[in-house]
Amino acid sequence: MNPIMSKSDAAALVVAARIRRGVTWAEIAGEIGAPVVWTTAALLGQHPMTEEQARRVCEFLGLEEAVAESLRLQPARGADPALMSDPTIYRFAEALSVYGPALKELIHEEFGDGIMSAINFRVDVSRRPDPDGDRVVVTFDGKFLDYRW
């Protein structure tokens, strides 16, 4: 019996197949009927897919069953420290280090003592035209969870 393919190896095969076939992440998400950001994160190894989702993605991209098997596994979530050197990812960390304390204060002021869930969570990315250069709009939409003492 062959060992299970790692999520990072499966992700690399998904990315290569997507590029080779000339399809977008949005097209893949449409194929499985799931949000594009969630689908992309799942295919990059951060969420488990259902058997049906994994099968459909692999059929769509022409990938083998070993990839589908890996896509169904529970991930070890979180950022690989090497990813923090990527400029796009680092800018998110930088933005949160600058604005995180203010956002925390504003959340507490508006909602009370608690946190924004990253489990019951939606995220979206879009483009907004601007005369000084297009803007990236990232929306985090998390359920408020109050601390209960």
Verify whether residue 91 is a known catalytic residue.
yes
Catalytic residue among 64, 77, 105, 117: 117
Verify whether residue 21 is a known catalytic residue.
no
Burial environment of residue 54 by CB neighbours within 10 A (0 to 12, 13 to 18, 19 or more): buried
Verify whether residue 69 is a known catalytic residue.
no
Catalytic residue among 59, 65, 94, 105: 94
Catalytic residue among 20, 21, 77, 91: 91
Task: List the catalytic residues.
Answer: 91, 94, 117
